[in-house]
């Protein structure tokens, strides 16, 4: 098998390339490098620079590299930006996927893994979010991911393309410092940034109906997430025409205050957070039910929150050496 990894120079994409390569699969990276970093692509792995909106370029890449499976991670992913630029998000995430699927089906590629998100659920009022929990996204970003799932599923039914839509929960950590997330959009790097600035981390609301009043989330190590892609890819290879939609999480909730306390402990800082007003649309609790992915793929997360914070901190200090404590 040869797998084309769209967005393979990004934070998650680079980890997927690493996991697929280590599992013995041939990989090709397709990335427009708008946020991806070419240096993340391992030596010996071809890199094709291009957008998924460029159908002819996609088709050439599929043919030239004799691609037999696609893992599609290339997408715009910032919730706030999606609210301000919905047309941009629908163009990049939905139209880009449509163009890609058109090329994939025309080329006869048999397997397709789609990067989705827990954002498709919106504000679920349940202890554990199952794959059958109603999807009510609250942002254009979440809408584009849900529309992407519909498009992937419809293509499966119309053409027999084997498909898997993986709904990621909160991703953190790194396989090695050079692969760490360089963005500051998720809780862990946001706390790192505040500590580096000698400022208190922010907690957005402490009056939620949770044990300590702060939001509870399910955190998944990016290495485990990448291994889930390998498991999904192999499940599709083994069962032509299969269609899967799966949560990728640990099934364990951690509050924002708990995460900040753990970050302080790992980094050597001792800076209590400041409470800010709630952010609109933040649900109190979003934790995955992880039993279906275990049953379907035989996959289970192996890393805990301490692993995530420690590995992420090593990557942060590599880029921000002034953050290291003496």
Q: What would the two tokens of residue 163 be?
A: 């498909």
Q: What does each of the 326 residues of the chain score in pLDDT, given as a tens digit?
A: 899 999 999 999 999 999 999 999 999 999 999 999 999 999 999 999 999 999 999 999 999 999 999 999 999 999 989 999 999 999 999 999 999 999 999 999 999 999 999 999 999 989 999 999 999 999 999 999 999 999 999 999 999 999 999 999 999 999 999 999 999 989 999 999 999 999 999 999 999 999 999 999 999 999 999 999 999 999 999 999 999 999 999 999 999 999 999 999 999 999 999 999 998 878 899 999 999 999 999 999 999 999 999 999 999 999 999 998 75
Task: Find where tokens 């862990």 sit.
Answer: 188
| Every domain of the chain and the residues it spans | 2-171+219-248, 173-218+251-286+302-323
Q: Which of 141, 168, 208, 219 is catalytic?
A: 141
Residues 199-202: contacts with CB under 8 Å, at least 24 apart: 199/271, 200/271, 200/272, 200/273, 200/274, 201/260, 201/263, 201/271, 201/273, 201/274, 202/273, 202/274, 202/275, 202/276
Please say if 269 is a catalytic residue.
Answer: no
> What CATH number should be reported for the domain whose range is 2-171+219-248?
3.40.50.720
- What is the third-level CATH fold of 173-218+251-286+302-323? UDP-galactose 4-epimerase; domain 1 (3.90.25)
Measured in residues, the chain has a length of 326
User: What gap in Å lies between CA 243 and CA 235, rounded to an integer?
Assistant: 10
């Amino acid at each position: 098998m040869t797998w084309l990894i769209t967005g393979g120079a990004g934070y998650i994409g680079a980890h997927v390339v690493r996991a697929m390569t280590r599992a013995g699969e041939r990989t090709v990276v397709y990335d427009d490098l708008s946020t991806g970093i070419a240096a993340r692509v391992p030596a010996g792995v071809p890199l094709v620079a291009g957008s998924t909106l460029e159908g002819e370029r996609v088709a050439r890449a599929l043919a030239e590299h004799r691609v037999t499976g696609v893992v599609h991670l290339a997408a715009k992913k910032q919730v706030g930006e999606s609210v301000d630029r919905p047309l941009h998000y629908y163009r990049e995430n939905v139209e880009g996927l449509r163009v890609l699927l058109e090329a994939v089906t025309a080329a006869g590629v048999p397997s397709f893994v789609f990067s989705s998100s827990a954002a498709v659920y919106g504000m679920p009022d349940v202890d554990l979010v199952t794959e059958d929990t109603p999807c009510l996204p609250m942002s254009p970003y979440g809408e584009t991911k849900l529309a992407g799932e519909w498009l992937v599923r419809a293509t499966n039914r119309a053409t027999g393309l084997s498909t898997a839509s993986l709904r990621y929960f909160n991703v953190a950590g790194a396989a090695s410092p050079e692969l760490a997330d360089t963005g500051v959009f998720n809780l862990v790097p946001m706390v790192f940034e505040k500590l580096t600035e000698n400022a208190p981390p922010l907690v957005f609301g402490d009056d939620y109906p949770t044990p300590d009043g702060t939001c509870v989330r399910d955190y998944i190590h990016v290495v485990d997430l990448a291994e889930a892609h390998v498991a999904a890819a192999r499940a599709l290879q083994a069962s032509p025409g299969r269609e899967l939609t799966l949560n990728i999480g640990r099934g364990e909730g951690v509050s924002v205050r708990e995460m900040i306390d753990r970050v302080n402990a790992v980094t050597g800082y001792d800076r209590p957070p400041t409470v800010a007003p709630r952010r609109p649309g933040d649900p109190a609790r979003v934790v995955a039910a992880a039993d279906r992915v275990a049953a379907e793929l035989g996959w289970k997360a192996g890393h805990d929150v301490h692993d995530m914070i420690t590995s992420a901190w090593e990557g942060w200090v590599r880029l921000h050496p002034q953050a290291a404590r003496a």
